[in-house]
Amino acid sequence: MNRRHEYRTLWISDVHLGTREAKASFLLNFLRCNVADQLYLVGDIFDGWALQRSWYWPASHNDVLQMLLRRARSGTDITYIPGNHDEAARAFPGLDFGGILVQAQATHTTADGRRMLVLHGDEFDGVIRHARWISLLGACAYSGILKLNRHFNRVRRWLDLPYWSLSAYLKYKTKRAVQFIADFEHAVAREARQHGVDGVVCGHIHHAEMRSIDGVLYANTGDWVESCTALAEHHDGRLEIIRWVPTAHDGVAPPTTTAAPYGQGDGYAQGDGSVEVAARP
């Protein structure tokens, strides 16, 4: 039996249920092996844009929803902050859906007293704010890249090689993408400063990251389409990014720390603050 890892808080975002690219089975594996007192769903859990184009909803996507509802019934405090792809849920702030509370944004206080603004982050994406049609076109192009990524990893499985995100590699090798990410991170950090908090947790750009930006702790949860990452808070308030790295066997193994977790000393550390988890049956 796989050992469960217990945390004070977990944040996940950008699952994009309703698309073929959603790593629903990997997320289910993660949720079975990691529990927390509080769970934040930081937007784009569903992909309403994709579901409007064509309906795709396999059993594994329904299993994710059932798992989340079971966690809520068993006492996990779950807050759902909708993103731009599941923006229909933004019409229901304050709704309690089976123990899952819908909010536009939230403020989380860590065990060591730091206040973290929690939001999806699409409001800091200029393309979405000012040219939605370009964003929709970009979403279609992105979907094509992810399909290429799926075929690429099918070949890797035949060769008994672990999952590796070709799409993420291509994206972060593009200078414009790198600049967009940097601009987004600084915009979100500025918003946190304006709220007078110590840090911010967001999603949206599918790039897990944790670092200090002008004295503000910026933490991005990443996604469950390319990188399979989550943000975790330990019971002493330390924060770290968990990278749930699937292999051809789609199981789990105990985590191996690849960098010092955030939250030590003044609350920040160098490196990406990640824990990498390889999978086994």
Place of tokens 């950008």: 14
pLDDT of residue 144: 61
Residue 216, phi then psi, degrees to nearest 5: -110, 135
Place of tokens 């890249």: 145
Q: Is 270 helix (H, G, I), strand (E, B) or coil?
A: coil
pLDDT tens readout for residues 153-178 = 777 777 777 776 656 665 555 545 55
Nearest C-alpha neighbor of 231 from the set 249, 251, 214, 211: 211
pLDDT of residue 56: 96
pLDDT of residue 141: 54
Q: Which residues pair with 46 in a beta bridge?
A: 17
pLDDT of residue 145: 62
CA dist 141 and 154 (Å) reads 20
Start-to-end Cα distance in the chain: 10
Angle at 106 between CA 105 and CA 111, to 5 degrees: 155
Longest dimension (CA), the chain: 51
State the pairing for strand pair 5-12/229-233.
Answer: antiparallel
CA dist 281 and 239 (Å) reads 28
Q: Which residues pair with 11 in a beta bridge?
A: 40, 231
Question: DSSP letter at 261?
Answer: P
List all residues 6 or more positions away from 147 whose beta carbon is below 8 Å from its beta carbon: 20, 21
Q: Which domains, from first to last, does the chain contain?
A: 5-278 (3.60.21.10)
State the pairing for strand pair 199-202/115-118.
Answer: parallel
CA dist 14 and 132 (Å) reads 18
pTM: 0.76
pLDDT of residue 172: 58
Nearest C-alpha neighbor of 222 from the set 276, 279, 144: 276
| CB distance 117 to 124 below 8 Å | no
Low-confidence ranges of the chain (pLDDT < 70): 1-2, 126-148, 151-152, 164-179, 246-281
Residue 240, phi then psi, degrees to nearest 5: -155, 155
pLDDT of residue 166: 59
Give me the DSSP letters along 67-126: HHHHHHHTT-EEEE---STTGGGGG-TT-EETTEEE-S-EEEE-TTS-EEEE---GGG-H
| CB distance 39 to 254 below 8 Å | no
Structure-block tokens of residue 230: 């989550």
